[in-house]
Every structure is written in structure tokens, then in C-alpha cells.
Amino acid sequence: MRSLEDVRVLAIEQYGAGPYGSVHLADLGAEVIKIEDPAIGGDVGRYVPPYQEGEDSLFFETFNRNKRSLSLDLANSAGRSVFEDLVRVSDAVYSNPRGDVPDRLRIRYEDLRHLNPQIVCCSLSGFGMTGPRRTEPGYDYILQGLAGWMSLTGEPDAPPAKSGLSLVDFAGGLVAALALMVGLHAARRDGTGTDCDVSLFDLAISMLSYPGTWHLTAGYVPERLSRSAHPSLVPFQNFPTADGWIVIACPKEKFWNRLARALGRPEVATDPRFSSFEQRRINRAELVAELDKIIGTDTTAHWLERLGAAGVPCGPVNDLEEPSPTRRPQHETWW
């Protein structure tokens, strides 16, 4: 489906967060014209190793498929003139430099409305376009630390850890793309464009979600739990099998009862220590120890088949190769 084929977006973006948002618009059919600064060699993502050659890289291709690219210096009059011509015939200007840069580049709604009253100007930055930190760059790793994510991630006795993926960047890009589309909807309805100001820091704080609510309203102090365990639902974590790892999730009482029967231990479901969500949370260590004794006796494949047949939510803990339909030899060229 090319649902957005009637949308044209000028994307002043680079690296990860911004391009991750606009690539989804491009995948849905929007014409995304990526504006790259020739003074710095274009998007820095072009030069990210290890799979990089010349002015291209697999990193860059991942975030910029289906887009068009234009080398344009907005700081000189000729480049600005071309940009303004494009604004006249576009729906949105999407950007992800620091929060103070849209003012400096004159790409906010007030700067462009005389060219196109319906233009939507969406800025994604580390700390937003207003406030004391607007001039600071914001990167995923820094924000995962600043917003408390790292304190929630990793094994109990290990150092704080980031998520295995750049989730602040990715979620920020998606929220910015959503903000752009909301602004575009309103502009087409009302005839007037707007500014959209999306902050990665605000997003990271909001994504603390229920642990943040628990802390603010009940004084909850989070602790890191072994094997990526859920903070309140038990069992809901990784378990070692005879040849690997499996994730088992029991977010409903019916799943816990099914698990007990599938493991050949129906009596544990009615054991007073494990008979409710709260009792299983309180007695987490004892329950996990009981399950370890059973699950460790057979293979991942065995438990996937058995638990799956019983209707217990579960899945293997794969490495990066295992979900792939084909495995490419390490020496094969990527071009």
C-alpha cells in the first residue's frame, strides 16, 4: 500500500532518530526528499562502519530506503532559494538537528508560512526547541542514562546497561512521524500549518510508563532482576534449557495453570505460595528455582512444542542469525 503517495516531505535529517521516522513515511508511499549538507559530506550515517564504502554504508541504506536525496546548502542564498521553491510545493519540513537549529536555519512555521500557509514543520531533537538545554545534542545512549532506563536494565550485580537497540531514537522517530501526520491532518482540515516540537528526553521520560507511575504515586524503587524478569508478573522471564534459553510468559492466571500442567506439576498451581499474582511475586525465588529444575532437563525445541501445544506464551531466545531465512557467509560482499 502507498497510502501517503500524495504527501511530500522535505527531510533535513541525519544519523538515526530522524531518518528512522521518515523512512516509515517513505515506505508508506510519501515522497521524502532528504536534504544533505554538502559542506559536511551529507548525512554522517553514510560513513558509519563496518559495512561502509565511499559515501555509502549499510547503516545509511537501512534508514534511508525509498527516499530521494538532494545536496543543498541552506546557508547560502542559492541553496535557500531552491529550498523555498520546494517548500511552496511540499506538505512538511521534517528535521532532527539540535533544538536551537530550526531557528537558525529559519525552518520553523513562522519562517515558512509566507511561502506555504499549510506547511507543517516538525522538529525532533534531544531536548526540544525551548528550554535551557535546547542547544545540547541528545543521543540515544545519553538519554537512556539520563532518563533512568539504564538503571532498569541488566543483571542485578552488573553495571547499568542500555537496551540492545537504540529504542529512544527509534521511538522518537516514530513519534515525530506521528506528530507530522497529525499536523498534516489538521493543516488539510483547517488550511493552516503548524510547528511540531518532539523531544527525545520527553519521550524517554514518558516511556518509563508504569514504573514511573508506581514511583511517583507509591514510592516504588525499581530493582534489576535476573534474566530479564518482569518486575511484578511471575513467571515472565528467560529460563535456561538443556541447550539454550526460552522465554515463558504468564501474564494471566490461565497461563500459569496451563504451564503447571504442561510441566507435569499441576499441584504447584494451587500451592499457597504460588496461587496468585501477588504470592508468586513475593515467592519469586522459590518458584523460579522449581521451574529451573524442570525446564533445564530438556531442549528448547522440546519445551517450545510442549508449551505451545498447551497454549502457554513462549518463544526461543534467538541470536541474530537464527530468525533469518538465509544465512550469508561472512566473506560475501554486501554490495
| Cα–Cα distance, 17 to 43 (Å, whole number) | 12
Cα–Cα nearest to 251, from 231, 225, 227, 271: 231
Cα–Cα nearest to 12, from 74, 63, 55: 74
| Cα–Cα distance, 76 to 265 (Å, whole number) | 74
Active site residues: 230
- The angle subtended at Cα 75 by Cα 71 and Cα 80, nearest 5°, is 70
- How big, in percent rounded to 5, are the helix, strand and coil portions of the chain? 45, 15, 40
Spell out the residues 6+ positions from residue 210 whose beta carbon is closer than 8 angstroms to its own: none
Sign of CA dihedral 126, 24, 40, 69: negative
